């Protein structure tokens, strides 16, 4: 039989095959142990010796081509699939995917806050959780025996190596990093500082002896209170939405003056008053102010050269408001039913 | 602190509704946290910041109200009651002979005593009782109530002693002696120590100065003659005393923050007037030690600089008016400059920035414009935080959830985990938070236990946080990564059924290998150690992996489960990480792959086999790795089945089968001869 004719026949049959099953049948018929090509090979010994080699090569080529065509058609069928096969997929079954993990909501909120500020040109700096009394208090204009210290109850460390002048403690806020950065760098500075902080508060739904803060500060010539308002407005709208209202209330912090607490209109009731905002319509989200000249003095910046502002916020509280979480302890229990929601 | 609308009205002409007033006070820095209607009056609960003792009185708040509403302040009308001339004091004259001895002027710059005889202690009239109750103060009797009334009205704590209980005609203001005792008016006996400031008579302490009076000398219904104390005590002495005694009072709260010397005079006069009116009696003597004179602070105020710091343009006349309304005296001192005199009740104002704040408060923060500063971006080199972020995303990709656990732990929590000596907290809240953790593993185990209790099938978690410990040079605070894996994870449903993964030591290893690869960290090694392995770089240990012993699991109440954990020192790893990766050109010539499956003894490490294969095959072997592993029924005991995939490639030419066949054959022969591999 003419090999070319056989090739044409094989080719057309493969091309018209409509399903993988049909293709499997063709494969057996063409390439099987008792298939067409095996038959052809079986005829070789009966040929005249001079023709055997050439015929053998052509059969071999036919075998290779047939194999290739079958493979290609099989690939094509499995890609497109027949109409019946497509119906066979139950799309209500769960999809197939690797289970990937979840980033802790506190981390997500820290990253979101830092990212808003880095987009404004701030850089992110971290500091140690074990601090000196100087960096945590004195350098920040918080005198040792003053009632302003009461707001910063602090865990002290029993360190055999510490002297009375450099008592070690667990930082009660991220503000000591202001002192660290200003001591090591000159303005202009625009820095945010995320981190863990500690205060001896008994644990309940809204208190934790360990929580997270993000501190920020800008120092340069001619930094104004109005700049503080602008930067914090960009921040609050980025995190809580463009439609929120803001207000700056005078307050007292030893390390800033003038100082302000910042409220946003309640994101739950839109300012009408609800249980989350204590019927006030406002939620306090951060403390801020112009850096006190005594802080600049402690870090060795010359008097009246620079001005700057600083602000600090509780990440846990912001995360609770943002996600509607009503118990701070959930952050530290790491219940997967909780973590998997973020 | 509480004040009422009607009480404020006595000092300022209020035309503004209570709710609006609350709003204005809040926006001036006196945050009104509650407003409540009560018996025809309105009670404001105000949070007073610790820098403003002058606001700890109705009159002080009224001064602020006057400034923010633009009304006049009406000071309380006080006539200075004069003591009776000595000859009229008659037979009680000896009562008037009280001397005041102040041991240290710094402890008590001013002490005034008024001696009143013949009072009648009765229940208070209704107006007095109601007013005190509206600000949360219980009525006792007319005398005690008057001292409290004046305290709330003027912010000066007063104390009334029963004069007949004071022995020796002496009032001494001195530091206590060690082991002196006093029973305070709350009926508690308190042990005093040398740093506490007391009021004493000839024999013994009769009050803890500025904190609480003594029970023995307190006013009772039987009291006829009294000594009314109005004084100023050193804030730090009062603070240390009340801290040591854990005894906070309305009185100590104010003295700690600072009481104005001049208020002492007016408050004492006001109280005497009320006592004579309500309790009867006669003022027979007024004794004073110290002086109410204060050096007034004067500040040269640069209004231009202040405006510039706020971003506003307050003209000098307006600035002057604001300061005047708050009780300051100011006069022009050049262009945009003011000379400002600080009133005695504003001890918190010492510098220009304090005045800037006063201007901003009354001018209104809401009127300050909104601008954005010019920020000069500074690019810092990649820090720990950037690496930590990278690690977090790799581990999330591997299916681990991020946990955040407490840094303060029970001292026993790390037992059995090869931990360093911990740093102790000097003032812990409880035993559970007594030390800083030296390892992240216990916190993760606690979270694993929480989740197993919730019937979770698997818990795969990690935490990136600092660990702390003692070192020879001080203390160590280093960023670490902790991982804990437990249980069977149903990865996904495929046609073959559910593809499950059971946590194992090899999952820990796989996670670490992936991490190191992505951080560009080569040349590390895993070294078998104990029930797990160590990760080393040269001689330096980077971390460890362990299977948690059942004894430790028992401590966390985890039963019948296997938990695998790892801890890496990220501080060390970040130093070794390669930030700038280099591209390796893709190969020009095709490769030839050969797999070989064989049985070998179980104890032979795969690494040895791969190493021998590489040594035998030489340069043409590009890669050899284990691609299949089986141990079980179909294989004789003591043996394992391995399949190794060998990839051959030349960088100079296309390799032919003929070239590779003998190389691969000798590789296989080497495995047979060296390890006794039996081909399958």
CB atoms within 10 A of CB A78: 11
Which DSSP letter does residue A45 get?
A: G
ipTM over 0.95: no
Which DSSP letter does residue B426 get?
A: S
pLDDT at B613 over 80: yes
Which DSSP letter does residue B389 get?
A: H
Looking only at the bridges linking them, the beta strands covering B205-208 and B540-547 are unpaired
pLDDT at B357 over 80: yes
Angle between the B657-675 and B606-617 helix axes, to the nearest 10 degrees? 140
Q: Which two tokens stand for residue B253?
A: 């709260």
Distance CA B462, CA B483 (A): 4
pLDDT of A83: 61
Suggest the residue from B402, B423, B484, B556 to mutate for an interface test with chain A (most A CBs closer than 10 A): B402
pLDDT of A165: 62
- The reply to whether residue B29 touches residue A103, judged by beta carbons under 8 angstroms, is no
* Three-class SS state of A123: strand
Give percent above pLDDT 70 in chain B: 97
Per-residue pLDDT averaged across B339-363, rounded?
95
**Nearest CA-CA distance, residue A277 and chain B, Å:** 11
The correct answer on CATH 3.30.930.10 for the domain covering B384-576 is yes
Interface list for B 349-408 with A (CB within 8 A): 351, 353-354, 356-357, 360-361, 365-366, 368-380, 383-385, 389, 392, 395-408
Query: What are the pLDDT digits (tens) for B30-67?
Result: 999 999 999 899 999 999 999 999 999 999 999 999 99
pLDDT of B90: 53
CB atoms within 10 A of CB A252: 21
Distance CA B565, CA B544 (A): 8
The correct answer on CATH 1.10.1030.10 for the domain covering A105-339 is no
pLDDT at B363 over 60: yes
| B397, closest residue in chain A (CA to CA) | A100
Question: In B138-249, which residue ranges form alpha helices assigned H by DSSP?
Answer: 142-154, 235-245
**Confidence label for A3 from pLDDT (cuts 50, 70 and 90):** confident
Which residues of A fall within a CB distance of 8 Å from B377? Answer: 121, 123, 190
A98–chain B Cβ distance below 8 A for any pair? yes
Nearest CA among A9, A101, A103 for reference residue B389: A103
A332–chain B Cβ distance below 8 A for any pair? yes
B491–chain A Cβ distance below 8 A for any pair? yes
pLDDT at A82 over 70: no
Distance CA A149, CA A135 (A): 14
Which residues of B fall within a CB distance of 8 Å from A223? Answer: 373
Query: What are the pLDDT digits (tens) for B630-650?
Result: 988 888 989 999 999 999 999
Query: What are the pLDDT digits (tens) for B555-596?
Result: 999 999 999 999 999 999 998 888 778 898 999 999 999 999
Distance CA A315, CA A312 (A): 9
**Confidence label for A198 from pLDDT (cuts 50, 70 and 90):** very high
Suggest the residue from A177, A190, A209, A265 to mutate for an interface test with chain B (most B CBs closer than 10 A): A209
Of A94, A101, A290, the CB nearest to B401: A101
pLDDT at B97 over 80: no
Angle, vertex CA B180, rays to CA B175 and CA B183, nearest 5:
105
Mean pLDDT over each residue of chain A, to the nearest integer: 89
Q: What backbone torsions phi and psi does residue A227 show, to the nearest 5 degrees?
A: -65, -40
**Confidence label for A108 from pLDDT (cuts 50, 70 and 90):** very high
Interface list for A 189-218 with B (CB within 8 A): 189-190, 196, 198, 200-202, 209-210, 218
Of A103, A226, A261, the CB nearest to B402: A103
Q: Which two tokens stand for residue A51?
A: 């023709």
* Domain boundaries, given as residue ranges, for chain B: 2-69, 86-290, 298-367, 384-576, 592-679
Per-residue pLDDT averaged across B178-200, rounded?
91
CA distances from B433 to A328, B387, B424, B436 (A): 17, 29, 9, 8
Query: Is the pLDDT higher at B89 or at A172?
Result: A172
pLDDT at B473 over 90: no
Which residues of A fall within a CB distance of 8 Å from B459? Answer: 336
Query: What are the pLDDT digits (tens) for B280-323?
Result: 999 999 999 998 888 888 999 999 999 999 999 999 999 999 99
A224–chain B Cβ distance below 8 A for any pair? yes
Distance CA A40, CA A9 (A): 15
Please report how many Cα atoms fall inside a 13 Å half-sphere around the Cα of residue B669, on the Cβ side. 8
Distance CA A46, CA A60 (A): 17
CB atoms within 10 A of CB B519: 19
CB–CB of B287/B100 below 8 Å?
A: yes
* Domain boundaries, given as residue ranges, for chain A: 3-88, 105-339
Peptide bond into B44 cis (omega under 30): no
Chain position carrying tokens 């946990």: B403
- State which fold the B298-367 domain adopts: Phenylalanyl-tRNA Synthetase; Chain B, domain 1 (3.30.56)
pLDDT at B91 over 70: no
- State which fold the B86-290 domain adopts: Phenylalanyl-tRNA Synthetase; Chain B, domain 3 (3.50.40)
pLDDT of A150: 73
Burial of B480 (0-12, 13-18, 19+ CB in 10 A): buried
pLDDT at B209 over 90: yes
Which DSSP letter does residue B300 get?
A: E
CB–CB of B247/B184 below 8 Å?
A: yes
CA distances from B170 to A217, A336, B204 (A): 56, 70, 11
pLDDT of B94: 59
Per-residue pLDDT averaged across A36-57, rounded?
84
| B362, closest residue in chain A (CA to CA) | A250
A281–chain B Cβ distance below 8 A for any pair? no
- The reply to whether residue B368 touches residue A248, judged by beta carbons under 8 angstroms, is yes
* Three-class SS state of B102: strand
Q: Which two tokens stand for residue B421?
A: 């000596």
pLDDT at B250 over 70: yes
**Nearest CA-CA distance, residue A233 and chain B, Å:** 8
CB atoms within 10 A of CB B487: 18
**Confidence label for B333 from pLDDT (cuts 50, 70 and 90):** very high
**Nearest CA-CA distance, residue A227 and chain B, Å:** 5
Which residues of B fall within a CB distance of 8 Å from A78? Answer: none
Nearest CA among B491, B399, B412, B480 for reference residue B446: B412
In terms of phi and psi (left: phi > 0; alpha: psi -120 to 50; beta: otherwise), the region of B352 is alpha
CA A193 centroid distance within chain:
17
Domains B2-69 and B298-367 share a fold: yes
Query: What are the pLDDT digits (tens) for B433-442?
Result: 999 999 999 9
Cα four-point dihedral sign B200, B204, B209, B215: negative
* Three-class SS state of A265: strand
- Under CATH, to which class is B2-69 assigned? alpha beta
Per-residue pLDDT averaged across B259-282, rounded?
93
Query: Is the pLDDT higher at A20 or at B132?
Result: B132
pLDDT of A65: 85
**Confidence label for A74 from pLDDT (cuts 50, 70 and 90):** confident
pLDDT of A159: 67
Distance CA A182, CA A177 (A): 8
pLDDT of B581: 81
Mean pLDDT over each residue of chain B, to the nearest integer: 92
Q: Which two tokens stand for residue B506?
A: 């090899």
Interface list for B 425-484 with A (CB within 8 A): 425-429, 433, 436, 447, 450-451, 454, 456, 459-461, 465-466, 468, 470, 474-475, 477
**Nearest CA-CA distance, residue A333 and chain B, Å:** 6
The β-bridge partners of B144 are: none
pLDDT of A160: 66
- The reply to whether residue B353 touches residue A258, judged by beta carbons under 8 angstroms, is yes
Which of B62-66, B367-371, B508-512, B676-680 shows the lowest mean pLDDT across its residues?
Answer: B676-680
The β-bridge partners of B191 are: B181
Suggest the residue from B401, B432, B463 to mutate for an interface test with chain A (most A CBs closer than 10 A): B401
Torsion of CA A202, A207, A211, A217, to 10 degrees: -120
- The reply to whether residue A202 touches residue B429, judged by beta carbons under 8 angstroms, is yes
| A150, closest residue in chain B (CA to CA) | B50
Query: What are the pLDDT digits (tens) for B515-540?
Result: 999 998 888 999 988 879 999 998 89
Distance CA B226, CA B163 (A): 4
B308–chain A Cβ distance below 8 A for any pair? yes
Distance CA B636, CA B649 (A): 35
* Three-class SS state of B161: strand
pLDDT at B367 over 70: yes
pLDDT of B564: 97
**Nearest CA-CA distance, residue A5 and chain B, Å:** 34
The β-bridge partners of A139 are: none
Interface list for A 126-185 with B (CB within 8 A): 126, 128-130, 145-148, 150-151, 155-161, 168, 170
Angle between the A20-31 and A49-80 helix axes, to the nearest 10 degrees? 170
Identify the CATH assignment for B592-679 out of 3.30.70.380, 1.10.1200.10, 3.30.1120.10, 3.30.420.40: 3.30.70.380
Query: What are the pLDDT digits (tens) for A262-298?
Result: 999 998 888 888 888 888 889 999 999 999 999 999 9
């Amino acid at each position: 039989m003419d090999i070319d004719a056989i090739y044409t026949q094989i080719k057309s049959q493969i091309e018209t095959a409509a399903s993988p099953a049909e293709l499997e049948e063709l494969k057996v018929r063409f390439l099987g142990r008792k298939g067409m090509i095996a038959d052809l090979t079986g005829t070789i010994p009966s040929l005249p010796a001079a023709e055997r080699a050439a015929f053998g090569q052509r059969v071999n080529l036919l075998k290779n081509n047939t194999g290739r065509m079958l493979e290609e058609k099989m690939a094509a069928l499995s890609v497109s699939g027949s109409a019946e096969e497509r119906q066979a997929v139950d799309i209500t079954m769960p999809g197939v995917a690797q289970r990937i993990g979840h980033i802790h909501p506190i981390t997500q909120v820290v990253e979101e806050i830092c990212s808003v500020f880095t987009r404004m040109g701030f850089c992110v700096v971290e500091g140690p959780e074990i601090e000196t009394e100087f960096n945590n208090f004195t350098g920040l204009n918080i005198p040792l025996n003053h009632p302003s210290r009461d707001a910063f109850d602090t865990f002290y460390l029993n360190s055999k190596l510490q002297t009375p002048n450099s008592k070690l403690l667990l930082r009660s806020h991220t503000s000591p990093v202001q002192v660290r950065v200003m001591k090591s760098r000159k303005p202009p500075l625009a820095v945010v500082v995320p981190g863990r902080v500690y205060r001896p508060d008994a644990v309940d739904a809204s208190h934790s002896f360990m929580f997270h803060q993000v501190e920020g500060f800008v120092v340069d010539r001619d930094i104004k209170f109005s700049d503080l308002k602008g930067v914090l407005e960009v921040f609050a709208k980025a995190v809580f939405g463009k439609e929120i209202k803001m207000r700056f209330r005078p307050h007292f912090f030893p390390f800033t003056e003038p100082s302000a607490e910042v409220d946003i209109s309640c994101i739950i009731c839109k300012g009408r008053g609800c249980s989350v905002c204590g019927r006030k319509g406002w939620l306090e989200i951060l403390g801020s102010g112009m850096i006190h000249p005594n802080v600049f003095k402690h870090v060795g910046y010359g008097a009246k050269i620079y001005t700057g502002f600083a602000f600090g916020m509780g990440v846990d509280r912001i995360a609770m408001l943002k996600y509607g979480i009503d118990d701070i302890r959930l952050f530290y229990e790491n219940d997967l039913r909780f973590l998997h929601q973020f | 602190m509480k004040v009422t609308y009607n009480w404020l009205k006595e000092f300022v002409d209020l035309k503004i509704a209570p709710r609006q007033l609350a709003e204005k006070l809040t926006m001036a820095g006196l945050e009104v946290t509650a407003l409540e209607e009560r018996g025809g009056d309105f009670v404001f609960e105000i949070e007073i910041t610790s820098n403003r003792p002058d606001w700890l009185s109705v009159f002080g708040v009224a001064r602020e109200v006057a400034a923010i509403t633009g009304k006049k302040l009406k000071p309380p009308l006080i006539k200075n009651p004069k003591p009776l001339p000595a000859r009229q004091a008659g037979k009680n004259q000896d009562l008037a002979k009280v001397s005041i001895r102040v041991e240290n002027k710094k402890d008590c710059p001013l002490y005034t005593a008024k001696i009143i005889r013949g009072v009648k202690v009765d229940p208070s009239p209704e107006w007095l009782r109601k007013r005190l109750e509206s600000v949360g103060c219980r009525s006792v009797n007319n005398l005690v109530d008057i001292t409290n009334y004046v305290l709330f009205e003027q912010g000066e704590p007063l104390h009334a002693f029963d004069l007949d209980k004071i022995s020796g005609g002496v009032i001494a203001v001195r530091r206590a002696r060690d082991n002196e005792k006093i029973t305070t008016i709350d009926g508690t006996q308190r042990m005093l120590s040398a740093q506490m400031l007391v009021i004493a008579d000839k024999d013994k302490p009769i009050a803890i100065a500025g904190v609480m009076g003594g029970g023995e000398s307190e006013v009772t219904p039987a009291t006829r003659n009294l000594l009314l104390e109005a004084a100023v005590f050193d804030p730090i002495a009062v603070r240390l005393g009340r801290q040591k005694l854990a005894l906070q009072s309305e009185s100590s709260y104010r003295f700690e923050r600072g009481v104005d010397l001049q208020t002492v005079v007016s408050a004492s006069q006001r109280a005497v007037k009320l006592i004579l009116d309500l309790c009867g009696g006669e003022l027979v003597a007024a004794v004073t030690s110290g002086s109410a004179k204060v050096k007034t602070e004067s500040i040269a105020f640069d209004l231009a600089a202040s405006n510039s710091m706020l971003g506003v343009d307050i003209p000098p006349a307006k600035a002057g008016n604001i300061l005047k309304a708050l009780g300051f005296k100011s006069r022009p001192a050049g262009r945009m400059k003011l000379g400002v005199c600080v009133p005695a009740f504003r001890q918190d104002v010492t510098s220009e920035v304090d005045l800037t704040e006063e201007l901003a408060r009354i001018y209104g923060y809401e009127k300050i414009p909104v601008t954005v500063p010019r920020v000069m971006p500074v690019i810092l080199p990649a820090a720990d935080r950037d690496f930590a972020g990278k690690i977090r995303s790799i581990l999330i990709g591997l299916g681990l959830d991020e946990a955040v656990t407490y840094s303060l732990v029970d001292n026993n929590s790390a037992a059995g985990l090869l931990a360093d000596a911990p740093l102790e907290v000097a003032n812990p809240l409880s035993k559970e938070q007594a030390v800083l953790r030296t390892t992240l593993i216990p916190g993760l185990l606690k979270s694993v236990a929480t989740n197993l209790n919730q019937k979770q099938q698997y818990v795969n978690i990690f935490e990136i946080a600092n660990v702390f410990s003692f070192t020879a040079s001080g203390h160590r605070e280093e960023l670490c990564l902790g991982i804990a894996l437990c249980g069977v994870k149903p990865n996904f449903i495929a046609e073959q059924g559910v593809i499950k993964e059971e946590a194992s030591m090899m999952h820990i290893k796989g996670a670490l290998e992936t991490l190191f690869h992505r951080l560009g960290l080569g040349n590390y090694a895993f070294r078998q150690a104990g029930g797990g392995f160590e990760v080393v770089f040269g001689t330096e240990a980077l971390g460890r992996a362990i299977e948690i012993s059942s004894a430790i699991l028992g401590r966390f109440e985890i039963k019948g489960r296997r938990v695998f954990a790892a801890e890496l020192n990220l501080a060390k790893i970040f130093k070794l990480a390669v930030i700038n990766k280099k591209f390796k050109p893709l190969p020009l010539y095709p490769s030839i792959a050969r797999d070989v499956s064989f049985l070998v003894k179980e104890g032979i490490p795969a690494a040895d086999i791969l190493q021998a294969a590489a040594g035998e095959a030489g340069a043409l072997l590009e890669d050899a790795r284990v691609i299949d592993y089986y141990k079980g029924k179909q294989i004789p005991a003591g043996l394992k089945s391995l399949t190794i995939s060998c990839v051959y490639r030349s960088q100079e030419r296309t390799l032919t089968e003929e070239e590779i066949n003998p190389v691969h054959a000798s590789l296989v022969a080497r495995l047979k001869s060296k390890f006794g591999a039996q081909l399958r």
